[in-house]
Structure 1
Amino acid sequence: MVHLQELYIGYNDLQGPLPPCLANLTSLKQLDISSNQITGNISSFPLKDLPSLKVLDISNNHFQGQIPMEIGTKLPKLISLNISRNFFNGSIPSSFGNMTSLQSLDLSNNNLFGGIPKHLAMGCFSLELLDLSNNNLKGKIPRWFGSLSHLEVIVMANNKLEGPLPKELCQLNSLMILDLSMNDISGSSPSCFGDLNIIQLHLSRNRLQGRLEDASYINISSLVLLDLSFNHLEGNIPSWIGELSSLGYLILGNNSLEGKLPTQLCNLRELRMIDLSQNNLYGKIPSCLDFTGLHEENGNDTNEYIISYLYNIPFRSEESLQFTTKSISYSYKGRILKFMSGIDLSCNKLSGEIPHTIGNLTRILTLNLSHNNLAGSIPTTFSNLKQIESLDLSYNNLNGKIPSELVEIYTLSVFSVAYNNLSGKTPERIKQFATFEESSYEGNPFLCGQPLNKSCNPVEPPLLTPGDSTDNKEDDGDFVYMDIFYITFVVTYIVVLLVNPYWRRAWFYLVEKLMVSCYYFVIDHLP
């Protein structure tokens, strides 16, 4: 088929090396053999015989060895190159700088090491997507990234990159996704990010420092996802957070943030997921937390439109987001983000009552308020959370009864109110609540009922049958009890005298005095 221009054989079960006869397809423009079990070394494949190739996708196979230099020199018309999810090692070839038409480069999920070659900036002027994630790349983030003005997606997560974020990143006016999570990046995030149109910003699991107030994202009205978790950020949650009108996912957990929850959080009407856990936040939970994005019917499709637009760009990149639900940290990726929702305020110092308005967030899937100082009762409005799967209110100071209406929630798989001051009877063991064990309720001394080993009915003394024998037994029992009393009294008396030497001497002195008095009394009164 010498005139064949497009060949798609991906997502099959093809095995073995690439056949040399593919080199006969000199008219081939697009070749997709992704998601198979093809092995071997791609350097043995005659790439020089495919000069018209524009799209090459060999991802998710079992290729190994180094990336051949010929890719950059023999494929001058290449627009998209995807060799991710293989076993390539070595460094990124400097010849990639010769691909002046290249728009998408995905080298993720391999064993590449070394630095990011400067040659990319010398020739890849059309580059729109660069994915180098899940490798062993080292060094600083190059400042020359600022010269790649067409970049829309930069993903370099889970490497060993270090140093501060270069301010030259702020020159990328087309940037929509920036993912540098799980590296060793230090310093603070540039305040100039507020001048960009970023939709997703992933900087979690680094060593970022400074006060969050100093990093200004106030002008990023397009920002849908902000993940700064697992860093060393300090200070209060800034008031400008309320200006991020499109924000749907706010992940700031595992930092050193302090202060009260700002009421500006209530302006985030599109919010679907918020994680502020493992910080030093205190004060009350604002009662105005009534996000439209977590309403079953009232929410609009702003976030869905933005995410849909984002993932329909010519070169798709599905970024993951870590969120803890059901006591396990899960990774949510790509379009699935719009189906995930939750609130995690655990492990802080929050106090006051739980706002009953949280019960209006009917689309919520997980709610974690554990390990705080919350008081008051559990709102009965929680029975409106018909889609919730995980509800954790443990380790607080909640009191009162557990609302019986909670048994109407059929989706609940994790439930815990352990270690509070709750009282009364546990919810009826029906439907989902029949699956919750003692660990869901332990640590509440005034709580009773199954599955706790504490009955809610007081134990009554056994009734005695009337009769003469009963009276005799009671009399015999009284006699036995009196004998026991006398014996116990005498033994205790003797023990006290033997143990305490002062009382022993006093007792002997008294006995001696009584004996002398008795002797003289007898002598004086005998005739």
Structure 2
Amino acid sequence: MNHSNLKYIECDNNELVPASSFHAPAPKLQLRFFSASSCTSKLLSVEFPTFLYSQYDLVFVDLSHNKFVAEHFPSWLVQNNTKLNRLYLRNTSFIGPLQLPQNPRPNLHTIDLSDNNIHGQIARNTCLIFSRLQNFIMANKSLTGCIPLCFRNMSSLEKLDLSNNHMSCELPDHNLPRGGSFLWYLKLSNNNFKGLLPPSVFNMTKLVYLFLDGNKFVGEVPDLSENNLSWSLPLGYYAPSLRYVHLYKNQLSGPLPYAFSNLSSLVTLDLGDNNLTGPIPDWIDSLSELSIFDLKSNQFKGELPSQLCFLRKLSILDLSENNFSGHLPSCLSNLNFTASDEKSSVLYSMVPIDEFDDEGFHFDSKILWAKIDLKIVVELTSKKNFYTYEGDILRYMSAMDLSCNRFTGEIPIEWGNLSGIHSLNLSQNNLTGLIPSSFSNLKQIESLDLSHNNLNGRIPAQLIELTFLAVFNVSYNNLSGRTPDMKNQFGTFDESCYKGNPLLCGPLLRNSCDKTESPSERGPDNSNGDDGSIDMDSFY
């Protein structure tokens, strides 16, 4: 059969078989499009498709998620196909350093080599070989060294992902694209970059996603309004498009700069696990689009400003492990804690290539749009464990974690209006008073941790109506009376949920309610003003 006119082969999600020992002549066809991603094999690995050695007109190649036999990066594939513009080789078990083709290939604008075993440094002449590079994805590898200096002049670059490598250097401004570049996605997470944050990062007018988490950046995040230009980050003045800022797990210090207040489109601000100090500033309500606000594991202090209550789109608020104090603002009940697409998704590239190639051949949408897999990830403690949320799960996740601070006073009864919240952690504070019976309105809650406080009185019996509750912890308080009936989810909880409350009684506890309950506790009549609490003096 004559296939010489065949231009397009798409055979994703099929089974790869080893080539026979018989060497057939090279096929006469010259493909424009070849996609064979996510194919399975009965063998642990297979050889790289040999017929590609005879292809010279390829525009699009996707062989991602296959296990090839100890193959090095096929620089010959790029060398042979001068029209190639998209190359996807994610998770293909390539090894060794990244060997570039000898001659420039200006048409190649998308390279995804993530999740391989490629090591060494990014070649200094990368910008010369790929002068019109738009998407450079080299995550989850063993790259070392620094970003080549030539990247500063790569004005065409739109997405740069070098996360989860072993790159290490002080990152000066001249290693990153200039402010006028088209870069809208920058991810350098989980490397060993150090020194001060490069100001050019906040001088990119089209930058939307900024991920510098998991590095060793130090120093303050100063305020441009103070005109201390030697330290200042021109944040909010020259980065008007920024919506996602992830700087957690560094060594940053100082207060939140006022310049953040200009980022009115910010959706995610994650500054957790640093050494930041000071209070939450009053201008925080200017971030009206904020959905995720994470300041955990810093040294913030002071009372929570009422301006937090105006962040109506907030769905995840994590202020745990700081030195916040004062009463819990009742107005936080105004927050909706609802699902949000914006906090979990990343837009795909919207820069199409021509619908027809130079021979009049039409490509479908798989070629027209970049196939870059990018996600927003948030780390959160919930249900007694540490979780990483992303994608659809993050979209629906809603939580407020104020644990490990110095909050005092009572839990506002108005917080029973947080009907959309999934996780609430108020543990390890100095809270007093009763557990609000209004918490029975938290119909979506899955995790409620009130442990290690000074709460007293009875556990509201109405809480058994919380049918999604998977984790409940009121240990180490001053609670008294009968534990809730072992119905619904409360039938799944054990003694550890209640320990450290010697005046509690119930089936799971050593105390018998017949011996510990006072007559006023047994009777349902509170008409005399009895609030159901125990007179502690009667036990001594």
2:221 paired residue number: 189
Question: Is the Cα contact below 8 Å between 1:100 and 1:125 reproduced in 2?
Answer: no
What is the deviation of 1:158?
Answer: 0.4
The 5-angstrom pairing of residues 101-140 of structure 1 reads 101-122=132-153, 124-140=154-170
Q: In 2, distance between residues paired with 1:73 and 1:258?
A: 57
2:251 paired residue number: 207
2:17 paired residue number: none
Q: In 1, distance between residues paired with 2:411 and 2:93?
A: 53
The Cα offsets for residues 158-183 of structure 1, whole Å up to 9 and x where unpaired, read as 00000001222222000001100010
Establish whether residue 56 from structure 1 lines up as the match of residue 87 from structure 2.
Answer: yes
- Aligned to 2:297, the other structure's residue is in SS state coil
Establish whether residue 141 from structure 1 lines up as the match of residue 198 from structure 2.
Answer: no
Greater mean alpha carbon deviation, residues 22-31 or residues 223-232: 22-31
What is the deviation of 1:377?
Answer: 0.7
The 5-angstrom pairing of residues 60-459 of structure 1 reads 60-70=91-101, 73=103, 75-98=105-128, 99-122=130-153, 124-144=154-174, 145-147=176-178, 149-191=181-223, 192-195=234-237, 196=239, 197-212=241-256, 214-294=257-337, 303-304=340-341, 310=347, 314=370, 315-458=372-515
- Aligned to 1:332, the other structure's residue is in SS state strand
Q: In 2, distance between residues paired with 1:178 and 1:431?
A: 44
**Once the two structures are aligned, what percentage of the paired residues are identical?**
40
Q: In 2, distance between residues paired with 1:247 and 1:310?
A: 18
Of structures 1 and 2, the larger Rg is shown by 1
- Aligned to 2:218, the other structure's residue is in SS state strand
In structure 2, relative to structure 1, the CA distance for the partners of 1:448 and 1:73 (3 Å cut) is: farther
- Aligned to 2:408, the other structure's residue is in SS state strand
Question: Is the Cα contact below 8 Å between 1:275 and 1:343 reproduced in 2?
Answer: yes
- Aligned to 2:57, the other structure's residue is in SS state coil
What is the deviation of 1:304?
Answer: 2.5
In structure 2, relative to structure 1, the CA distance for the partners of 1:80 and 1:327 (3 Å cut) is: same
Q: In 2, distance between residues paired with 1:150 and 1:189?
A: 24
Q: In 1, distance between residues paired with 2:426 and 2:484?
A: 20
What is the deviation of 1:11?
Answer: 1.6
The Cα offsets for residues 26-82 of structure 1, whole Å up to 9 and x where unpaired, read as 221111111122232334552211111110000012111111121x84533111100
Greater mean alpha carbon deviation, residues 416-425 or residues 283-292: 283-292
The Cα offsets for residues 449-479 of structure 1, whole Å up to 9 and x where unpaired, read as 02111110139xxxxxxxxxxxxxxxxxxxx
Q: In 1, distance between residues paired with 2:507 and 2:171?
A: 58
In structure 2, relative to structure 1, the CA distance for the partners of 1:76 and 1:105 (3 Å cut) is: same
What is the deviation of 1:238?
Answer: 0.7
Question: Is the Cα contact below 8 Å between 1:29 and 1:55 reproduced in 2?
Answer: yes
Q: In 2, distance between residues paired with 1:339 and 1:28?
A: 41
- From the two aligned structures, give the one with the greater helix fraction: 1
Question: Is the Cα contact below 8 Å between 2:255 and 2:278 reproduced in 1?
Answer: yes
What is the deviation of 1:291?
Answer: 4.2
Q: In 1, distance between residues paired with 2:346 and 2:166?
A: 31
What is the deviation of 1:193?
Answer: 1.5
- Aligned to 2:490, the other structure's residue is in SS state helix
- Give the aligned residue type for 1:188: E
What is the deviation of 1:25?
Answer: 2.4
Question: Is the Cα contact below 8 Å between 2:346 and 2:374 reproduced in 1?
Answer: no
Question: Is the Cα contact below 8 Å between 2:343 and 2:395 reproduced in 1?
Answer: no
Q: In 2, distance between residues paired with 1:393 and 1:151?
A: 44
Question: Is the Cα contact below 8 Å between 2:214 and 2:250 reproduced in 1?
Answer: yes
Q: In 2, distance between residues paired with 1:46 and 1:309?
A: 33
The Cα offsets for residues 210-229 of structure 1, whole Å up to 9 and x where unpaired, read as 122x3531111110000000
Q: In 2, distance between residues paired with 1:294 and 1:397?
A: 27
2:36 paired residue number: 9
- Aligned to 1:289, the other structure's residue is in SS state helix
The Cα offsets for residues 89-136 of structure 1, whole Å up to 9 and x where unpaired, read as 0111123202122110000000011111112224x2200000000000
- Aligned to 2:341, the other structure's residue is in SS state helix
Q: In 2, distance between residues paired with 1:43 and 1:180?
A: 27
What is the deviation of 1:423?
Answer: 0.9
In structure 2, relative to structure 1, the CA distance for the partners of 1:376 and 1:312 (3 Å cut) is: farther
- Aligned to 2:421, the other structure's residue is in SS state coil
Question: Is the Cα contact below 8 Å between 1:20 and 1:46 reproduced in 2?
Answer: no
In structure 2, relative to structure 1, the CA distance for the partners of 1:364 and 1:312 (3 Å cut) is: farther
Unpaired stretches in structure 2, ≥5 consecutive residues = 1-5, 7-28, 224-233, 351-369, 517-540
Question: Is the Cα contact below 8 Å between 2:75 and 2:99 reproduced in 1?
Answer: no
Q: In 2, distance between residues paired with 1:320 and 1:207?
A: 20
- Give the aligned residue type for 2:99: P
In structure 2, relative to structure 1, the CA distance for the partners of 1:312 and 1:293 (3 Å cut) is: farther
- Give the aligned residue type for 1:110: K
What is the deviation of 1:309?
Answer: 6.7
Question: Is the Cα contact below 8 Å between 2:155 and 2:177 reproduced in 1?
Answer: no
Greater mean alpha carbon deviation, residues 354-363 or residues 171-180: 354-363
- Aligned to 2:480, the other structure's residue is in SS state strand
In structure 2, relative to structure 1, the CA distance for the partners of 1:389 and 1:259 (3 Å cut) is: same
What is the deviation of 1:19?
Answer: 2.7
Q: In 2, distance between residues paired with 1:226 and 1:378?
A: 31
Establish whether residue 22 from structure 1 lines up as the match of residue 64 from structure 2.
Answer: no
- Aligned to 2:127, the other structure's residue is in SS state helix
Question: Is the Cα contact below 8 Å between 1:121 and 1:147 reproduced in 2?
Answer: yes
- Aligned to 2:479, the other structure's residue is in SS state strand
Q: In 2, distance between residues paired with 1:391 and 1:307?
A: 24
Q: In 2, distance between residues paired with 1:198 and 1:413?
A: 37
Question: Is the Cα contact below 8 Å between 1:386 and 1:411 reproduced in 2?
Answer: yes
- Aligned to 2:40, the other structure's residue is in SS state coil
Q: In 1, distance between residues paired with 2:219 and 2:392?
A: 32
1:519 paired residue number: none
- Give the aligned residue type for 2:208: M
Provide TM-score, normalisation by structure 2: 0.80
In structure 2, relative to structure 1, the CA distance for the partners of 1:160 and 1:430 (3 Å cut) is: same
2:528 paired residue number: none
